A and B are shown apart, each in its own frame.
Chain A
Amino acid sequence: MYSFTKSNPKPLFAEDTKLWLIFISAVAGLMIMFSLFLITKSYLYKSDLKEFKQQITQNNLKIKDYTQRVNFIKIEKTLTTKISVNNELLKAGVKNLLDLIPDPITLTNIKIEKNSLYVYGITPSKEVYNILLLPPLKSIFTQTITNFYQMDNGWYRFESINTLKEVDK
């Protein structure tokens, strides 16, 4: 300390400069707040965009999955329809077959496979069988093989194997 007196307080700015500074500071403050608001908004939009992109990716995957499932279901439906048609056809065929069976012949067993029909039964004679049952079977199937086994009472037990050959597409 060199002086006998102390310095008077010195404001950094004059009164009018202070007013200007307050005004400029307020404007700058508002601009900063607005820019912060914009930055936050932009950040939120970017964040939402990222989320939406993820959702789109997930949805695309789901669509792919659903498409696969739809295709599978379509295939299943086709198959079901085909099976149903086949069943209907088979049902009709069996009904027709059963309608074809003449009274003297008794069926003991029928086994139906995809392209073949196994018929077991008892016929009073081979002729009855050959006249009454064989012709309709031959008209349906491409190949018919019949085996007869004579019983004690003179009747015959028969085994008819009928196959249907698929035409190559």
Chain B
Amino acid sequence: MFKLNKLKTLFFKETFIAFYKENDNFLVQKKVVKNEKVIEEINNSLNEEELIEFINKAFIENTQTYISTIIDSFNQGIVDSCSHTKYKELGINIDNIKILCLDNYSIFIGLYELNNYKKELNKFKTDFIFSPYLIIDLHKKDKNNSLYMLLTNNFIIITIYSKKTPVYSNIHQFKVEDIIQNEDENNDTQFEEESIDNDIDIIDDIDDIDDIESLDDSLDDIDEIDDIDDVDIPNIDQKEVQEEILTTKTEMEIIEFLKSSIKDYYENYNSDFLENIYLLYTDKLDDKFSQNIENEIFMEINTEKIDILSDINNLALKELSV
């Protein structure tokens, strides 16, 4: 079977499409490989319909198209053994999870979450679903007692390696609802201001005494205008303030998650002192932020920008060569 696959790669092009959802859009990478050489690479940001069309087009162009993504479900983790006994010791019911046994450790995921995610991904003809822990594993350095943190716009995951084996894992998803809520609040303020203007226009157009009630309502709105004026924010860019608040909140969330994970590790897993901390990020990283983390945990942070989509496609390639 392996030889057949190898032979197939000599004569046929293989298309690898990796995607993952970030906010409302999907980040997509298409890589066309022939005989282990990349002959085409496209990166894109698409909405759901565009992504479905993109995938269908890829299948028409090449039947050997493999679609891959990652699952950021909270109910997944790493266990430093493939033994079911170890899972039982940790109180994990193996009937409800799927286990992937790798070299000297295993990755598990809740079957319920996995099946739900598979149903969601049916429309994308997805072949491979990878754990984000594997992304960290691709970038791990040959150093002992190291903590790796993978930071995306949707989630953070932490893996701690002791004696080159991952012994601790943790995942944290950003509260998207909070962000949306904050954005909605901002939009509501604007809406109110617009409605006030409209109401004033209505006042100008009064021709009928029956509109008194609406006039009263409008007067109430005028009172609200007074209230807003009392807040004293006209010269400050609301959006910038909101973004800054959000950034600070997110940074605090990340630092808190990192600190709690380190504490959990020392208390429940291993007392060996962590020697290295690596921060793998996908988008952009503010220097101040990494300094803030260093100040909080009193350790130097090594940062590395990674391309998750490329990593997903590389995992798909590795999966096919197994």
A and B associate in one complex: yes
Q: How distant is the Cα of A5 from the Cα of B101 in the complex, in angstroms? A: 13
Select A4's contact among B102, B131, B318, beta carbons within 8 Å.
B131
Give per-residue flags for B103-137: 1 if the beta carbon is below 8 A from chain A beta carbons, else 0: 00000010000100010000001111111001000
Query: Which of B292-322 touch A at CB < 8 Å?
Result: 315-316, 318-320, 322
A residues with a Cβ closer than 8 A to B are: 1-8, 10-14
- Give every chain A residue within 8 A of B134 (Cβ-Cβ): 2
Q: How distant is the Cα of A8 from the Cα of B63 in the complex, in angstroms? A: 11
Give per-residue flags for B38-64: 1 if the beta carbon is below 8 A from chain A beta carbons, else 0: 000000000000000000000010011
Q: How distant is the Cα of A10 from the Cα of B127 in the complex, in angstroms? A: 10
- Smallest Cβ-Cβ distance to B137: which chain A residue: A2
Interface of B is mostly: mixed
- Check if A5 sits within 8 Å of B127, measured CB to CB: yes
- Give every chain B residue within 8 A of A4 (Cβ-Cβ): 71, 98, 100, 109, 114, 129-131
Query: Which of B134-155 touch A at CB < 8 Å?
Result: 134
- Check if A1 sits within 8 Å of B319, measured CB to CB: yes
A to B CB contacts below 8 Å, 29 in the list: A1-B100, A1-B322, A2-B102, A2-B134, A2-B319, A3-B68, A3-B127, A3-B130, A3-B315, A3-B316, A4-B100, A4-B109, A4-B114, A5-B114, A5-B128, A5-B129, A7-B66, A7-B127, A7-B128, A7-B319, A7-B320, A8-B127, A10-B63, A11-B63, A12-B8, A12-B12, A12-B63, A14-B60, A14-B63
State whether A5 and B63 are in contact (beta carbons under 8 Å apart), knowing that A12-B8, A12-B12 are contacts in the complex.
no
- Check if A12 sits within 8 Å of B64, measured CB to CB: yes
Total residues of chain B contacting the partner, CB 8 A: 30
- Give every chain A residue within 8 A of B318 (Cβ-Cβ): 2
- Check if B64 sits within 8 Å of A3, measured CB to CB: no
- Smallest Cβ-Cβ distance to A13: which chain B residue: B63
- Smallest Cβ-Cβ distance to A18: which chain B residue: B63
CB distance from B217 to the nearest CB of A (A): 56
Select B118's contact among A5, A7, A12, beta carbons within 8 Å.
A5
- Smallest Cβ-Cβ distance to B134: which chain A residue: A2
- Give every chain B residue within 8 A of A2 (Cβ-Cβ): 100, 102, 128, 130, 134, 315, 318-319, 322
- Give every chain B residue within 8 A of A8 (Cβ-Cβ): 125, 127
- Give every chain A residue within 8 A of B64 (Cβ-Cβ): 10, 12
Q: How distant is the Cα of A113 from the Cα of B126 in the complex, in angstroms? A: 125
Select A3's contact among B60, B101, B125, B319, beta carbons within 8 Å.
B319
Q: List 12 extra interface pairs beyond A2-B102, A3-B127, A5-B118, CB under 8 A.
A: A1-B100, A2-B319, A3-B100, A3-B128, A4-B114, A7-B66, A8-B125, A10-B64, A10-B66, A13-B63, A14-B60, A14-B63
CB distance from A5 to the nearest CB of B (A): 5
Q: How distant is the Cα of A56 from the Cα of B102 in the complex, in angstroms? A: 81
Q: How distant is the Cα of A11 from the Cα of B59 in the complex, in angstroms? A: 11
